[in-house]
Amino acid sequence: MKITAFNGSPRGKAGNTHIIVEEFLKGAEEAGAETENILLNKKKIRECIGCFDCWTKTPGECIIKDDMDELMEKFVSSDIVVMASPLYTDNVSGLMKIFMDRMIPIIEPYFVRDENGETRHKKRYEKYPKIAVISNCGFPEQSHFQVLKLFFRRVARNLHTEVIGEIYRGEGEILKNENPLIKPFIKKYLYFVKKAGEEIVKNGKISEEIQKKLERPIIPYRLYFSGANKSWKIEN
């Protein structure tokens, strides 16, 4: 089984999303998957220019020559893709969105109806990878991911596939905290992330038990809230 993570954090390796992705992939690898972690901030990806040449003149191929050819190939040849992004203005980062827009060559232009009678585009490939979502945000509550949750369900529908796992982490800025009193709580959380990676490979989903543990705050909300406000006192 091949799992490819696409991380849309502009902070790349230095980001909180990366910490979660790495742990998830570790679990997946231990369960036998072949994994790859792609940092989109290291890739050259220009915005889609909306010419639709990838649907008309060069079917399946974008006329912009940058790193997207290679990335699209990796996307469609994976069994599972991990769409990983920090929450930016309640959605994916701009970098992730640009990457996603550039994926339109992987479907065909023709309209078809899905099982509910709603329109989508026709498949270009026989099979599309299943989607796992990883995100984190600066606010403490899990409620901030409601737009993202719906967004990825819609994306999966459009791509004739499904979301098989979601890891959303409020309090994301705690993940790099070095306080020895807090570190054990982060470690425990990341243990559950790794378990989720294992489960996705073994069972094709994250169990209810692990999902519940992943949704719990790492530290109490009020502590994170007051700690965040203290950290914003910029010294000059």
Ligand X SMILES: Cc1cc2nc3c(=O)[nH]c(=O)nc-3n(C[C@H](O)[C@H](O)[C@H](O)COP(=O)(O)O)c2cc1C
Footprint on this chain of ligand X (rule: CB under 6 A)? 9, 11, 15-17, 86-90, 136-139, 144, 172-173
Q: Which is nearer to ligand X, 89 or 231 (CB)?
A: 89
Give the nearer residue to ligand X in terms of CB position, either 54 or 87.
Answer: 87
In 19-57, which positions are buried (b, 16+ CB within 10 angstroms) versus exposed (e)?
bbbbbbbbbbbebebebebbbbbeeebeebeeeeebbee
**Nearest distance from C-beta of residue 173 to ligand X, angstroms:** 5
Nearest to 136 by CA among 176, 164, 169: 169
Least distance in angstroms from the C-beta of 111 to ligand X: 33
CB of 128 or CB of 224, closer to ligand X: 224
> Of 41 and 161, which has the nearer Cβ to ligand X?
41
Please, which residue, 126 or 178, has the CB nearer to ligand X?
178
Distance in Å, CB of 147 to ligand X, minimum? 9
